[in-house]
Structure 1
Amino acid sequence: MQIGHLNVMQNWHKDLDDYQMYQGEIDLAVAADERGFDSLWCVEHHFEDYGLCPDNIQYLSYLATKTKRAKLVPGAVILPWNDPLRIAEKMAMLEYFAPGRVGLGIGRGLARREYVGMRIPMEEARGRFDEAARLVLKALETGYMESDTALFKQPRVEIRPRPLKSYYDDLNCVAMSNDSALAAAEIGGSMMTFIQFAFSRHLPMINLYRDRFREVHGREAPPCTLTDVTVIHEDEEEARRLAYEHIGNHYMAVTDHYEFAGDHFKGIRGYESYQTGADLIKSAGLEESQRTYIEAQNYGTPKQVIEKYRERLELVGEFNAMLVLSFGGISFENAQNSLRVFADKVMPELRKMHTNTRQASQAA
């Protein structure tokens, strides 16, 4: 089992400016490296408090100098918003700052306001993602990029510094819909998804991904990465209080940022399933939808968190875990406490659970 830490780079802190917020996020990532997390990830978001990292590869290049062991993964580069050539060049550079510990994460993006700000028609998202993914992966394997299509016209150029590795076997794809799950499977990537509702509702998409991966590649899919907005505290009531305040804040931010109260998804190819989710939120009501979201996340005492992971392991088999510990205005003191308690009391149990599961599977 691989355990990752994801910086979402939100500034809902009433008492911190953006510089202070960044220092807190950096300190959290460095602490995750020191406490044995396997990977450090960072989102790409633009223009507002929801996420203050317009270039996650640049951020990871800085972390490369501050960390020693964890893999560094953009989580994710949003392909439709970026020039494929520049992604390949920046990934190649990142390898030189952290040789042997770089992964690639790609995504399609969902927020209409970010598409508008980046001047990219949202209707082109699927095509841009598919084509850019092929171009970036090929360039990082061959050392050059060229293309002559309606979306990307690129004369042949070399990638310098030269890439140190191929990413066909080290690719992570963010998937929040069946469409994206199928795209991840077809390109051969490991699927990373955010927990949104009761885990049983995630199983059909996970199985869809696995089935399609097996069909296309003739082998089993790599473990999925399951991402939780996480609060861990030794005191059960305090864990619940923090979760309902700050995971609740985060849910409201998600709903606003992605405009889940609107109807615009239904007319955009590849985003139709998000309209179904938006309609469910409206029919259930915002307060009930918020409560459902909070309860889906993995929060609580170490024992409660371990038990939720155990239930998922029984349902889905081997998976990787990702934690978001700073979000929704939670203090960095509380985020660091969650990280410390997780590393000391949860992480060892998770690793044992997965080892036992793998050994039992091999024996069978």
Structure 2
Amino acid sequence: MEFSVFIIGPTAGQGSEAEVYASILREIRLSDELGFDMLWFAEHHFDTLFSTSPSPNLFLAIAARETRRIKLGTAITVLPFHHPTRIAEEGAMLDLLSNGRFQWGIGRGITGHEFQSYSLDSAHSWESFVEAHDAVLAAWRTGRMAHDGVHVKVPPTEIAPRVVQQPHPPVWMTAQSPKSVEWAAAHDYPAMQIGEDLATGAQQRARYEAAARQAGVAVRRGGIVPLRMVCVASTDAEAREIAAERVVRFWDHTARTTAPVFTKSPGAAAGTAGYEYWLTMNPQKFVGVGLDGLMEAGLVLAGSPGTVIDQVQRQIDALGCRQIMCDFWRASGIDAREGSMRLFANEVIPAFRERTPARAVAE
């Protein structure tokens, strides 16, 4: 099992922007020192309660110099928001600066107001995502980019610098809809999932495995990778006291921010095309269930180290996962977060280091 730290960095309710960024810099170093396997940075825009991390690459550049061992990735780079030549060149820079530790996490975006502010039609996000993905990988493999698509047009262009990892840095993908899960499986990309409860995640696991078999992929990297809000404290009662108000507030805000209601409200996207699946499973169905309901659904891991060990095992049993992304940010404030990270690293992770979960698809 591997465990990673996911940093989304909301400012509202956490502190000033300077305090939040100072905390992120401390946690970059702490994640490496404590033995976490990967460090992920979100990309979100125009909403300080949701995230104040508009450029994960800037944080990764700092992390490349502040860490020595931990792998460093974007979770995610929203491909429709960026020109692929820029993505390819900056990704190669990060791979060089980190001595080959860069992980490329990608997705097409889910937050409606971000598409609106970029003056983009979310109905075209899938096609734009696939074209950008293909163009960037070709550039990393060959050192040149040339793409004449509907959404991505690049004349023959030399891309420099070159990536360290060959043929390219490992690719990870957010995958929520059936199409995305199946596409990730066909490419043997781990499917990072942000809002699925355990019951839905188990269905996604079956869908992933079936698609991998159909594509003839013997999964070596892929499978479901859940993102969970995490709070560890000395006792269950203390963890619940730390996490309860924050988890519920951030979950409810996340549900509203990503809600595919497609009206003229500030958080709504431009249209339903391509996001039909989110209408049926989006996080709004867990609004109002409270901390107990979120924990029962497997969306939050909170408690003493022993309790959280049991909760992690429940994730493994349901999803067959080989990595869990830990969001310590939305479960605790600056004062408690680093203590939660230490308890997780020192008392939870060792319980799983010698365990080897079954692969998602038999090799």
Runs of 4+ more than 6 Å apart: 263-266
Residue aligning to 2:213? 214
Structure 1, residues 198-235: CA drift from partner, whole Å, max 9, x if none? Answer: x1221111221122123224312524322111111111
Cα RMSD, aligned residues only: 2.4
Mapped to 2, the partners of 1:265 and 1:178 lie a distance apart of 20
Mapped to 2, the partners of 1:208 and 1:72 lie a distance apart of 28
Mapped to 2, the partners of 1:316 and 1:326 lie a distance apart of 23
> Alpha-carbon deviation of 1:168?
5.9
2:279 is equivalent to residue 275 of structure 1: yes
Q: Which amino acid aligns with 1:271?
A: Y
Alignment of 1:46-85 (within 5 A): 46-49=45-48, 50-85=50-85
1:104, 1:172 within 8 Å by CA — same for their partners in 2? yes
Alignment of 1:20-169 (within 5 A): 20-49=19-48, 50-166=50-166
2:115, 2:269 within 8 Å by CA — same for their partners in 1? no
> Alpha-carbon deviation of 1:47?
1.2
2:116, 2:270 within 8 Å by CA — same for their partners in 1? no
2:227, 2:327 within 8 Å by CA — same for their partners in 1? yes
Mapped to 1, the partners of 2:240 and 2:196 lie a distance apart of 18
Q: SS of the counterpart of 1:176?
A: coil
Which structure 1 segments of 5+ residues have no match?
none
Structure 1, residues 293-349: CA drift from partner, whole Å, max 9, x if none? Answer: 354211111111111222232333342111011126x32121101101001100000
Q: Structure 2 vs 1, CA of residues 258 and 140 (structure 1 numbering), >3 Å: closer, same or farther? A: same
Alignment of 1:199-348 (within 5 A): 199-220=198-219, 222-259=222-259, 267-278=271-282, 281=284, 286-288=287-289, 292-295=293-296, 296=298, 297-327=300-330, 330-348=332-350
> Please, which moves more after superposition, 295-304 or 76-85?
295-304
State the TM-score, normalizing by the size of structure 2: 0.90
Mapped to 1, the partners of 2:170 and 2:90 lie a distance apart of 16
Q: SS of the counterpart of 1:202?
A: helix
Q: Structure 2 vs 1, CA of residues 5 and 233 (structure 1 numbering), >3 Å: closer, same or farther? A: same
> Alpha-carbon deviation of 1:289?
7.0
Q: Which amino acid aligns with 1:326?
A: W
Q: Structure 2 vs 1, CA of residues 217 and 92 (structure 1 numbering), >3 Å: closer, same or farther? A: farther
State the TM-score, normalizing by the size of structure 1: 0.90
1:179, 1:270 within 8 Å by CA — same for their partners in 2? no
> Please, which moves more after superposition, 291-300 or 112-121?
291-300
Identity of aligned residues (%): 25
Number of residues of Structure 1 aligned to a counterpart in Structure 2: 353
Q: Structure 2 vs 1, CA of residues 285 and 4 (structure 1 numbering), >3 Å: closer, same or farther? A: closer
1:326, 1:335 within 8 Å by CA — same for their partners in 2? yes
Structure 1, residues 2-34: CA drift from partner, whole Å, max 9, x if none? Answer: 2110101111236x2112111111211210110
Q: Structure 2 vs 1, CA of residues 108 and 246 (structure 1 numbering), >3 Å: closer, same or farther? A: same
